[in-house]
Amino acid sequence: MNLRGLACLLLALRAGLPGATPAVPTPAAPLPPTTIESGALELFSTEKETTFTYSRGVRITATNLVLTCDHLVVIARRSGDPAALVGRQEKLKSLVASGNVRLVQDDREATADRAEVFPDDDRVILTGSPVVRSVKDGWEQRGPRMELLRGERRAVIRGEGTERPRTVLPPLKDLGYDKIPERRPAPANAAANPGTPAPAPR
Assign residue 14 the CATH number of its domain. 2.60.450.10
What span, in angstroms and rounded, lies between the C-alpha atoms of 148 and 157? 9
CA–CA distances in Å: residue 197 to residues 126, 186, 200: 66, 10, 9
**Is the pLDDT confidence value at 18 over 70?**
no
Residue 24: inside a domain: yes
Q: 96-108: string of b/e by CB count within 10 Å (b at 16+)?
A: bbbbebebebeeb
For residue 43, the enclosing domain spans: 4-190
The DSSP code for 161 is: T
Residue 148: inside a domain: yes
- Is 191:198 a contact under the CB 8 Å cutoff? no
Give backbone dihedrals phi and psi of 162, rounded to 5 degrees, phi first: -90, -10
Q: How many domains does the chain have?
A: 1
Residue 199: inside a domain: no
Residue 197: inside a domain: no
Residue 73: inside a domain: yes
Residue 132: inside a domain: yes
60-76, pLDDT tens digit by residue?
A: 998 888 999 999 999 98
What span, in angstroms and rounded, lies between the C-alpha atoms of 167 and 21? 17
Residue 201: inside a domain: no
27-63, pLDDT tens digit by residue?
A: 677 878 889 999 999 999 888 898 999 999 999 998 8
Residue 178: inside a domain: yes
* Sign of the CA dihedral with 33 first, then 128, 118, and 148 last: negative
